[in-house]
Every structure is written in C-alpha cells, then in structure tokens.
Amino acid sequence: MSSASPRRTFAIISHPDAGKTTLTEKLLLKGGAIHLAGEVKARGQARRARSDWMKIEQQRGISVTSSVMTFERNGITFNLLDTPGHEDFSEDTYRTLTAVDSAIMVIDAARGIEAQTRKLFEVCRLRSVPIITFVNKVDREGRSPFELLDEIADLLALDVAPMLWPIGMGGLYEGLHRMGDATDALPEAIRDEVELAQAGYPEFDVAAYQHGDLTPVFFGSALREYGVEDLIEAIATYAPPPHALPADPEPIAPDNPEVTGFVFKVQANMDPNHRDRIAFMRLVSGTFKRGMKLTPTGHGKPIAIHSPILFFARERELADEAFPGDIIGIPNHGTLRVGDTLAEKSAVRFTGLPNFAPEILRRVVLKDFTKTKQLRKALDDMAEEGVTQVFYPEIGSNWIIGVVGQLQLDVLLSRLDAEYKVAAGLEPSPYDTARWITADDPADLKAFIDLNKGAMAKDRDGNPVFLAKSAWEVGYVADRYPKVKFAATRER
C-alpha cells in the first residue's frame, strides 16, 4: 500500500444511548458518504441512521449487527466498523474490535463512563487499541469537564489530554476552544479553566496515544455537529495506519507481499431480496485483486473471489483491488466462517478470535416438525455468524442454543421467522453453562464422555461440549477429572 493511499480502520465504542449512532451518521455525512442526515429522533416515522438496517434494530433503535462503512476524505480512506452497543452482543463486538487499528470512545457528558463503555474499553486494552475520546452532548446540562477528565483517567488508568474545551455547557454553551490557541478572546472564567487544564493535564503525545497509554479528549455534540470535524481530522492525523497482526507461526505486517486476511464476521441475508451470505474480511497484507484465489484455513481448498464488495454506507461496489486495512465482503454459500484466515500461499492463521462460553442456554422447540431441516440450517447459519452457538446433545432430540445475553434470543426468534419462515419457541434448558473439553490423551477424553453421556453435546464443528447445571458443577467435575481440560473460550 502506497503512503499516498492511507487507511484508517476504526470502530466507535459506547454505552447504549451515549450517541454512537448519531455520531456514526455525522461522520458519514462529513465524509460525503451519505447526503441526508436521518436523525435518530426525527419526528413522524423515525428514520434510523444508515448503519442500523435490521428490522429488530429499527424497532429498538439499537445497533445489533456490526456493519462496515467506508468513506474517503482528503485522500484518506476511512473504514468505520459499527459495533453493537448493547451489552448482550459483547462477543460480536469483541470480534469486530480484532479487525480495527483504533477506536473512538463516546461518553455522555452527563453520565460519564458507564458499564458497557468500560467493558468495551477493557477489550480494546487487551489488544492495546489506541482510543480517542469524544465527550458528547455538551449542548445539554452535563458534569464539569474536569470531573469527566478525572473520571476517565481514574477509572480507565489512562492519561488524558484535552484537545477541545467547551465554552460553557448546556444552556450556557457558546462554542469550543482548541487547546493551544490564544485564550485572549475567551470569557475570564473559561480562560481560567483552560489555563488550569493546560497546567494540570499532560500535553498530547502521539506515541503515548498509539501505544494505548493516553487518550486525546474532544468535547462536542454529535447531534449539532460540534467538534465532529476535529474528530475526523484527529483520526486522519494521529490514528495509526494498518499494522502487524498476531498470527501463527509469526505476526504478519501490512508490507508482506502475500495477500492475507481473516474473517471477523459473517452476515446472512443483508439484502432481503437475495438470500446472500457475506463474509467480512479484514485485509492484513498484500494487494488484493478481484478474481484472486485465496485458501481458507478451514478446509484448504482455494476459492476464487469474483465479486468482492466494498461498503460505502448503504451502497455496495465491486472491489477491483483492496489494500491492508480495507474490509471486503466476500459473498459465499457457507464456505467461509468467522475466524477463518485466507491466504494466497502460506499456511498462516491469525489468532485471537474466540468463542465465549454461553451464559444462557435454551432448548429450541419447533412448532411444525416438517421444518426440522430448515431449523438446523438456520441454527448452523447463525452459529456461523456468531449470533448464537448451537449444541446438539448426545442424548435427546431438542437442540440447545447458547448466548451471551438475552437480546440475542430475541434476534434469533425474529430472524427465524422473518428470514427462514420457521416458527419456533424457546423453553428452559436444564443446563446453565457450557465448557469445551479436551485432553492430552484421547482415551481420557473418551472415558469422560462415556461416563457423562447425559451432559454431553457437540457444537456445530463437532467439538465435544460438557453442559453443566451451574458454574459450581463445572468446578466440581473439573476437580474429579484432572486429566480433562474445561475451557470457557475456544479459538474459532
């Protein structure tokens, strides 16, 4: 990738209602990707921001699926990955955050750091993802800028460097001051605040930001477009371009000439008129050309990629070529799955895309038994996408689905009905959690499975899974079988 064509691949993380969807839309608007701002709270029939396109999202006004929106501005290509803001989708969000080089953290000026923001921040910290903070809604009554900055510093153990300072807040809001500019024209009270902030907080340091140790903080309002321009400029100027990513046998850098990438999301039925399945691939190295053959780690047969897609907000374009940092959509019929690595030649595998042990398990009850085949396909499809996990018990015919949060169950039933025309219900399962089991000696594994048949199942890949009635039971059984490993996560 030439330096004349830089990429910025980033996500926005926030607690629900902090303003992520509105900010996403305003960034697309400023980047020229959309030309009409469909405000989330528009009167009459609410027009949702373009990133929220699924039926259940429109009903609830939340982002459930991680979409990709690409826009270009002043010679820079921005790839914005939309992450689910609802806590029930931490798994999908986690995988999306493996595909970005930086993130914007949106905080409500009145509420400060909320539970979900903190959880998502910790996911970013695991990968040292650099974060720019946007304190939203300064046009409404909020907490003092000092209080907010100190909370970010204390709760997240981050250095904070204010970049924009609000001239008053709520009803007294008069604008934004760029730190470092002359303060002569400012009201005296604000001038004192700015001077105090400059003395009390560290100056912005690009290296500390890119290492994930410092966050530049921008105050503004996504709805009123205050500070949004500065935010885009900060991503363009300071956010890191694509970098080396962890892989087995060794990390892969963007300047490696071989084309490599990994699938971090699979989305079915994005276009209701065509039953399509699109695998979202983050390109890690090399220059991708349309029609190129790449080999997925999953099954080792090369596939020719004839119709790769780039996503410009809601529009799609065929990608003749793509560069490291780009996200391309690959239409396929279930060949590609979340976690697959694609490579031109070598047997490489990108690491760090896990499945998490479900916290809710439910039995699936079919209302029409002639639809068994359709149900199995639907459950496998959604397990492939990472929406739910599906377990097929060794004994008994009721399939069990596992999710990390309740909202995923609503999405499952909604999509079964809308996309697969399958009427199904959910009933309580006797199990509370699940663990993947392995053992160094296959005989130990077989012995455990034979003795615990009633609690055994297989996941969609055929891996053995122990279904437990409680976390206590997991610990009890693990103590009794020290040669068997019980894992709460499994690499996809």
Q: Are 72 and 31 in contact (CB under 8 A)?
A: yes
What's the full length of the chain, in residues?
A: 492
Asked if residues 397 and 363 have their Cβ atoms less than 8 Å apart, the reply is no
| Three-class SS state of 97 | helix
- Report residue 489: phi and psi, to 5°: -135, 155
Cα distances (angstroms) measured from residue 330 to each of 16, 291, 292, 327: 30, 11, 12, 10
Paired residues of 194 in beta bridges:
none
Q: 321: part of which helix (H) or strand (E)?
A: strand 321-322
Residue with tokens 């399939």: 399
Q: Is 131 helix (H, G, I), strand (E, B) or coil?
A: strand
Q: Rounded to whole angstroms, what are the CA distances from 461 to 53, 341, 384, 433, 449? A: 30, 16, 10, 18, 17
Token couple for 468: 């437990």
Distance CA 441, CA 98 (A): 33
Distance CA 146, CA 32 (A): 34
Question: What is the spatial distance between Cα 408 and Cα 62, in angstroms, rounded to a whole number?
Answer: 13
Distance CA 300, CA 247 (A): 17
Closest CA to 313 of 21, 32, 5, 15: 32
The C-alpha atoms of residue 317 and residue 402 are separated, in whole angstroms, by: 35
- In 179-240, the DSSP E strands lie at 214-219
Q: What H or E segment, with its residue span, contains residue 21?
A: helix 20-30
The DSSP code for 40 is T
Alpha helices in 317-469 (DSSP H): 372-385, 406-420, 442-451
Annotated binding site for GTP: 14-21, 82-86, 136-139
- Write the single-letter amino acid at 160: V
Which residues are annotated as part of the binding site? 14-21, 82-86, 136-139
Alpha-carbon span 301 to 443, nearest angstrom? 32
Can you state the percent helix, strand and coil of the chain, rounding each to 5? 30, 30, 40
Among residues 129, 91, 122, which one has the least CA distance to residue 488?
Answer: 91
Q: How far apart are CA 240 and CA 286, in angstroms?
A: 18
